[in-house]
Amino acid sequence: MTSLIFTPVVGAIVLLFFPSENKSLLRWFTLLVTLLVLLPTLWIALPWSEALSFEIGDAGLQHVVQASWIPSFDIQFFLGIDGISFPLLLLTALISCLAMGASWTIDKYVKSYCMLYLLLLAGMMGVFLSLDFFLFYIFWEVMLLPMYFLIGVWGGPRKEYAAIKFFLYTLVGSVLMLIAVLMLYFNSDLRQLSVQQLATAHIATWDEAGQLLSAEEYKAKIDASEYPLHTFNILALQQLGQHTDVFDQALLFGKSVQWWAFVLLFIGFIIKVPSVPLHTWLPDAHVEAPTPISMILAGVLLKMGGYGIVRICYPICPDAGYDLVWVVSSIGVISMVYGAFAALAQTDFKRMVAYSSVSHMGYVVLGLGVWSATAGTVFDPVSWSMGVKGALFQMIGHGISSAGMFFMVGVIYDRVHHRDLNQFGGLYGKMPVYTAMAMLLFFAGLGLPGLCGFIGEVFVVLSVWKLSATLAAIAAAVVILTAAYILWAIQRVYLGPEYRGPHPEELTEINLREMAIALPLCVLAVVLGVFPATMFRYMDATVDQQVTDLVDWTEDVKLPRLRAEREAAAEKDVAANAP
């Protein structure tokens, strides 16, 4: 686990000693480093080694790495994977390797580009591996500067504007997240947890001799303390949020600490998703970013917002998640509809694909926000579990199809240096192999049955039915809008009349390097569409366990609380109406 983060960092340091003028060597070395991250990740995914392979039926953490880092504040170097993080870790390693292959067209400041690229990769892997909130936040911020420079230096004509807009939006989200982290930290108290809960949270501490204490020994030690013991451990914060009342005290306007923490965290995460109305940085960033960075943005960075919601918001702040279910679900549906209509209105090929990402990521927010396991459904967790799994699968499917779509747009842009949809046409006759692969990836983005975009969308739509048939109908109808802009783009670019733009002589067939990047994405789009269980089998146990825990919390904690509030309100009304 540690090597997945530090291999890119070491690679970036080694690049310092490479000659700047040898661009080919710099590119090949950076690609090698990304392969050294991808191959161990694939090895974990395959059932070859009992010691290293991912245990499919295990709902808990695997391959845990824990070491004391800043002991005075109980900050640890705490890494691990489970069914929520591991599929996204796989996606990150794959897209990063393919995007580096797409970076052969980068010809300016190649050494600096490769170093920033590897630092970005380290930050992305760190986000999905970190289970200490302080460490998570550091890796979240580590991604910010490399991406800012990768857009601002190697981007298009309005690159400075796009980079600054990306930086400011992300920074605002980071500040809100930091406030929420501090709120949770200073209200946490490990003394409130039982021995079993401490063990579930992988709470680790060491004595003066460096020996690891057991959960029982640590419990006896902290019970003797007269002061609260705060923690950044994400799993411990989940236990505190679901099994104690430490985050329930009122803070502002009668709302609790966890309610405000949920709101701040949710805003920070949906900026990264991005969702309406905090999405406006994305089209500019995509249009101005070079092709490989657009692949990273769409394939990986957007997924970090969804990951933060499912990993942090709901398990730590369930009370707010329950109360705000309509807000979250409505934001998801509005983003789906708005993004689809905005994509229909575009004449820039890349901007159209960017708005399609806003629409498709709305399914993720909707699926995660569906709290369907309530008293009205006899606390049936099936729909909610389907929504969360559908959202996670949508993140994987969209990561593959959107990265592929941006790459295919980049292949054409590298040849003719424009993206005006009204000037394209007839590419199928000039580039048949490229066109076939591009159409497959665009159909995957459309959600065609048998391809990777279909499964997640259907699961999300089915999951929301018990919450609201109206929202389910709107979400299903968005497929029509998606088909409209995808098919219209295919008609204008690949079919239709002859090409009318500049540089028609440059429209040559896809080359071997480009084929090596596009082919894995096409294969995965088909494999995940036909055999979705290849990905669901990693998610099932962990998602089912998390949903079950939150359903138990709903039944044991939230429902009695709501009943007590209703009874108190009824008694107040009776007293007010009494003569």
Alpha-carbon span 72 to 70, nearest angstrom: 6
pLDDT reported for residue 529: 93
Give the residue among 539, 540, 538, 522 at the shortest CA–CA distance from 530: 522
Q: Where are the beta strands (DSSP E) in 96-221?
A: none
350, 303 in Cβ contact below 8 A?
Answer: no
131, 204 in Cβ contact below 8 A?
Answer: no
| 75-81 vs 62-70, strand pairing mode | antiparallel
Give the CA distances from residue 72 to residues 68, 138, 210, 230, in Å, rounded to whole numbers and listed in that order. 10, 18, 15, 11
128, 151 in Cβ contact below 8 A?
Answer: no
- Among the ranges given (145-149, 248-252, 277-281, 514-518), the one the predictor scored with the smallest mean pLDDT: 248-252
- Among the ranges given (329-333, 486-490, 563-567), the one the predictor scored with the smallest mean pLDDT: 563-567
Q: What is the DSSP letter of 155?
A: S
Cβ burial, residue 293 (10 Å; 0-12/13-18/19+): buried
Across all residues in the chain, what is the average pLDDT? 89
The size of the chain, in residues, is: 579
For the record, the structure tokens of 147 come out as 């991406």
pTM of the model: 0.92
Give the residue among 520, 516, 546, 512 at the shortest CA–CA distance from 42: 520
Cβ burial, residue 10 (10 Å; 0-12/13-18/19+): middle
Over the stretch 184-240, which tens digit does the pLDDT of each residue have? 999 998 888 888 888 888 887 776 666 777 778 788 888 888 888 889 999 999 999
Give the CA distances from residue 481 to residues 90, 137, 338, 446, in Å, rounded to whole numbers and listed in that order. 31, 37, 10, 9
- CA-only gyration radius of the chain, Å: 24
Give the residue among 524, 295, 265 at the shortest CA–CA distance from 402: 295
Distance of CA 553 to the CA centre of its chain: 25
Alpha-carbon span 467 to 388, nearest angstrom: 14
Alpha-carbon span 515 to 187, nearest angstrom: 53
- Report helix angle 512-530 to 533-553, nearest 10: 50
Over the stretch 52-90, which tens digit does the pLDDT of each residue have? 888 888 888 888 888 888 888 888 899 999 999 999 999
For the record, the structure tokens of 286 come out as 């995509």
What is the DSSP code string of 357-411?
HHHHHHHHHHHHH----SGGGTT--HHHHHHHHHHHHHHHHHHHHHHHHHHHHHH
For the record, the structure tokens of 383 come out as 């729909």
In the chain, what are the domain boundaries? Answer: 1-64+81-128
pLDDT reported for residue 220: 82
> Does residue 481 have a pLDDT over 90?
yes
Distance of CA 80 to the CA centre of its chain: 17
Sign of the Cα pseudo-torsion (455, 518, 395, 477, in order): negative
Assign 255 to helix, strand or coil: strand
Alpha-carbon span 218 to 222, nearest angstrom: 6
Over the stretch 296-353, which tens digit does the pLDDT of each residue have? 999 999 999 999 999 999 999 999 998 899 999 999 999 999 999 999 998 889 999 9
